Amino acid sequence: MTQGIIAAGSVHTAEAGAEMLRAGGNAVDAAVAACFASFMAEPTLVAPGGGGFALVFRQRDAHAWLYDFFVDFPGKGMAREAWPSPPDFYPITVDYGPTHQIFHIGRASVATPGLIAGLCRLQEDLGTFPLAEVLQPAIQLARNGVPLGDFGAYVGEILHGIFSADETLARLFGAPNAFLRPDTLYKNPDLADFLEALGREGPDLFYRGDIAQAILADQRAHGGLLTPQDLAEYQVIVREPLHQHYRQYEFLTNPPPSRGGVLIAFSLALLEEYALPRIPFGSPSHLELLTEVMRQTDLARPTFEITGDAGFFLARPHIEEHAAELARRLRSHARHHPEVPVPPREHSNTSHLSVLDGQGNLIALTTTAGEGPGFIVPGTGIILNNILGEADLHPNGFLQGEPGKRIGSMMAPTLVLKDNKPVLAVGSGGANRIRSAILQVFLNYTDMHMDLTHAVDAPRIHFERNGLQMEPGFPRETVEKLREWGYDITLWPSRHMFFGGAHSVGLSPAGYFEGAGDARRAGAVVRVI
């Protein structure tokens, strides 16, 4: 048995990882098993045909790797003139309650999937068990079924138009009589068959073999853009993590071309000049500082979007320019606020898991399939992605990308070390709120000296589009003071998945395992002792 702890977006996801730890596996075995299980345990958030990132720290050599298995723009080897006309690409409105957003779904919304390749590569490089063994919990869930539960049904209802777009997909989720109900038992025997074959054949099955042929046949028949070259030539990229020192900690996160980690690192560089541990949590000064740091990060962001150069973006002169403006604004509460560029809305249907094992190995793994493409690949049980259908990921227009190019993301799986020892693994779903959720959990755990449960559960804020979003739980006098200072505040009635899902694990200063499943996204923790 290997001691350890896992935090994830479902108790079934977490239990799959814990099963590997009990069998003597390491943190990577646990994370890979859990992520495969999430296809069943979190099916309205996670799908096999998506993409993601994993940040891994191996204690024995104090080394960290960022595995990038996010999606590529498709169409390699296909001339534009040969594209389907019209492509299967159509809009659908998603009702988020207070707001609505339009996404596009269909076969032509599918980017080249990377998740299967990434999980298999992680297991091959850093796991200890055969792939077939870590697949077993997911296979059992696919055969036996998992209730959608309240949260899965809630997300499914938000995405009702997507899950009901195809009759076969809708039946998988209980249509017509139990469609997307909490007690709907989600079974997927075709997915179980695929996973069993994957354990025997490896990722070639998905990228060159029978599953690839099924995906490509469906794409050809229904106006999609994926080509044999897209699948056969897909590559997992292993990158050096972005390193940022903050006080006595080493902050490791997702480097470019993804943007979330760079933006968090920028915020930390601004915050380091302030004695945050001496500012009471939830006080006007605390929230004003966080808000103005978020504002300066947003104002600085276009520089990174234009150049893609993290070195320049995080260089002292650029930081000092915004630090001076931050200090000036904090000196005077009543002031005119500069217009902040409207940030893109990115894939919000994202899930994260974190694992720490008894050897000190640490992994943070974040995945997404967008909102889902509105169909299932016939005979495979596989749902792909609709990441080409998210307008804000494609500023030059829909379907205008370069075939084979990796698409950008806000996802930022993050590890924190101190003296080359594990402190924290954290990440989040939640589109633009990913970076504010990770930032606040990190600061709560380190600067504010909260235990991890309180660090994750504590109310959060998010600044965006010149508006301050606030969860309930802050003192009333703080809210009133911030309004007096001129902030445009939206006070939410309850904690909400809007503010992320930062499922986290850590090692306390006393040396014991801590974990927190974020209740905003039905998180769960399992300890193996």
Residues with catalytic annotation?
A: 350
Residues 6+ positions from 476 with CB-CB distance below 8 Å: none
Cα dihedral 136, 142, 147, 150 sign? positive
DSSP letters of 442-479?
HHHHTTS---HHHHHHS--EEEETTEEEE-BTB-HHHH
Contact between 367 and 384 (Cβ < 8 Å): no
Contact between 25 and 128 (Cβ < 8 Å): yes
Task: Read off the tokens for 143.
Answer: 């055969």
Task: Read off the tokens for 42.
Answer: 């979190």
Contact between 110 and 386 (Cβ < 8 Å): yes
Rounded to whole angstroms, what are the CA distances from 265 to 64, 241, 276, 311, 428?
Answer: 17, 12, 16, 11, 16
Interhelix angle 260-271/433-445, rounded to 10 degrees, is: 40
CA dihedral 166, 168, 169, 172 (to 10 degrees): 150
> E-strand spans in 395-447?
414-418, 421-426
Q: Is 494 helix (H, G, I), strand (E, B) or coil?
A: coil
Q: Is 194 helix (H, G, I), strand (E, B) or coil?
A: helix
Cross-strand bridge partners of residue 525: 7
Residues 6+ positions from 400 with CB-CB distance below 8 Å: 394
Contact between 92 and 104 (Cβ < 8 Å): yes
Contact between 358 and 60 (Cβ < 8 Å): no
